[in-house]
A and B are shown apart, each in its own frame.
Chain A
């Protein structure tokens, strides 16, 4: 059934109330007058009074009918007038697409005070969607730039090599370089997939994590890969409360943090992987002896594709997704992640995960 319009509802309500009042007052008046009339015996008086009563009720019905008409008209007008800002809002919203989200769509609508929160809420919502779409666009632009860099390198390397005949050793070196580019593309594709999965928020299997053996295995594997770059030290303070996480995600989180520490810490320095209880949480941390990161950069480090060098060259190896992925994983486990950096303390990234989660 089609919902009744506001105009119909208000008109009906007013009509019913006014009609009820008229009927009730008429009924009461009629009963009172009728009762008084029964006590009168003079027939001339009775005739005259009956005539007057008839006049009175006719007048009351005419008055009632005009009131009903006036009420209906007034209700219609006021509803039409009140709804005007909503109508024009709706009309303006018709023109909103993902391309013009950023423009001001709801100017000069001039809503009454009661509707200001409504219009403001719509405006704020458009703003949030605009920001979201912009972030997506930026993400795609950054991702395409990151994908293009190894492609440019591989392509130009192959083209430059083919200019003339080279020695087998030179061809070997070129193949190794291009293989490195392909590896980088593969890593990037994997990270983009990780982020897409995390964004989808699809459920993953959680397992009880024995953090000590977990970190030991992970540290051993990573230290073997980064041989000679820095020394890896474990600092685990038992007893550690049990907590639940997806082992793959936890490995990705801690592995990224350790890789970063190796990359940004000084060669021959020390990378400390720590785990301890802190109230009802487990505090996992990775610390390197790298120099100070400027305070204004610290928060942005968790942004996707954020890198401290503006040129985004491939020399530093990463593409700025590791910390963003880590932050998503921690957020999903209901924890928090933070980074601090000082010349004396080095750079510490710590993830606080609720125990028993």
Chain B
């Protein structure tokens, strides 16, 4: 999962990013002003947007309006510093999904982020069940036929991402865009290595390759 933080308070953005990276294994990008934020958000490679309302160059509400106008469905969590509900109501009314008032608990932010992403993929249960595989998206523990498997971070990220799109064809570009942040070096053959490793763990039939199109994680066994 990849998250964009649009927040001009550099240290706060850094702190949020480190929680999301360390606790949720998300790929995280940071934009420090509204224009950059809008530009990056429009790339469409994000699973969640964390948006401050008071930003230099372009306000958070304007970004929100613009991305909704362009039809982006990414869930948006708004951060607001102002007391009072006017702002919050306006933000929710023009298309944000949730909000937090500063100062907030990072643990709460993390929980809300996870829940927003789960809901956006229509998986309200934090435990994703695929046949005999159980993925706990909270603890990142994967159980296969009752056996606990602790996957390396990137393999877990890939499995979770595919699991959220069970049955859909996911292209390699999609995977690269959602698993790595902007600064990471991306090699598409790495994805093949991860897929290979996941097949080793859970059986080769779990992930189907559609040549030239991408991969499909199969749901319950036929």
Mark A residues whose CB is within 8 Å of B. 141, 144-145, 148-149, 151-153, 155-157, 159-160, 163-164, 177, 309-315
B73 close to A (CB within 8 Å): no
Interchain CA distance A135-B22 in the complex, whole Å: 44
- Chain B residues contacting A160 (CB-CB under 8 Å) are 14-16, 18-19, 106
- Chain A residues contacting B8 (CB-CB under 8 Å) are 311, 313, 315
Interchain CA distance A159-B104 in the complex, whole Å: 10
Taking the closest CB of chain A, its distance from the CB of B65, in whole angstroms, is 17
- In the complex, which of the residues A153, A160, A310 has the most CB atoms of chain B within 10 Å of its own CB atom? A160
Taking the closest CB of chain A, its distance from the CB of B153, in whole angstroms, is 14
Majority secondary structure, A binding face? helix
| 30 pairs of residues in contact across A and B, judged by CB atoms under 8 Å | A141-B83, A144-B83, A148-B81, A149-B102, A151-B103, A152-B12, A152-B102, A152-B103, A152-B104, A153-B12, A153-B15, A155-B103, A156-B11, A156-B12, A156-B15, A156-B16, A157-B11, A157-B15, A159-B19, A160-B14, A160-B16, A160-B18, A163-B19, A164-B22, A311-B55, A311-B56, A313-B8, A313-B9, A313-B56, A315-B8
B148 close to A (CB within 8 Å): no
Interchain CA distance A157-B9 in the complex, whole Å: 12
- Chain A residues contacting B18 (CB-CB under 8 Å) are 160, 163
- Chain A residues contacting B185 (CB-CB under 8 Å) are none
The number of A-B residue pairs with CB atoms under 8 Å apart is 66
In the bound complex, do residue B54 and residue A310 qualify as a contact, i.e. CB atoms below 8 Å apart? yes
B122 close to A (CB within 8 Å): no
- Chain A residues contacting B103 (CB-CB under 8 Å) are 148, 151-152, 155-156
- In the complex, which of the residues A141, A177, A313 has the most CB atoms of chain B within 10 Å of its own CB atom? A313
What residue in chain B is nearest A313 (Cβ atoms)?
A: B8
Taking the closest CB of chain B, its distance from the CB of A340, in whole angstroms, is 25
Interchain CA distance A155-B8 in the complex, whole Å: 17
- Chain B residues contacting A311 (CB-CB under 8 Å) are 8, 33, 54-56
What residue in chain A is nearest B103 (Cβ atoms)?
A: A152
B107 close to A (CB within 8 Å): yes
- Chain B residues contacting A164 (CB-CB under 8 Å) are 22
What residue in chain A is nearest B33 (Cβ atoms)?
A: A311
B82 close to A (CB within 8 Å): yes
A177 with B11: in contact, given A151-B103, A163-B19, A163-B22 (CB under 8 Å)?
A: yes
In the bound complex, do residue A145 and residue B82 qualify as a contact, i.e. CB atoms below 8 Å apart? yes
Mark B residues whose CB is within 8 Å of A. 8-12, 14-16, 18-19, 22-23, 33, 54-56, 59, 81-84, 102-107
Interchain CA distance A160-B105 in the complex, whole Å: 10
Interchain CA distance A309-B33 in the complex, whole Å: 11
Interchain CA distance A292-B19 in the complex, whole Å: 41
Interchain CA distance A148-B12 in the complex, whole Å: 12
What residue in chain A is nearest B81 (Cβ atoms)?
A: A145
- Chain B residues contacting A177 (CB-CB under 8 Å) are 11
In the bound complex, do residue A310 and residue B15 qualify as a contact, i.e. CB atoms below 8 Å apart? no
Interchain CA distance A82-B12 in the complex, whole Å: 65
- In the complex, which of the residues B18, B22, B33, B105 has the most CB atoms of chain A within 10 Å of its own CB atom? B18
- Chain A residues contacting B10 (CB-CB under 8 Å) are 315
Interchain CA distance A144-B56 in the complex, whole Å: 20
In the bound complex, do residue A148 and residue B59 qualify as a contact, i.e. CB atoms below 8 Å apart? no
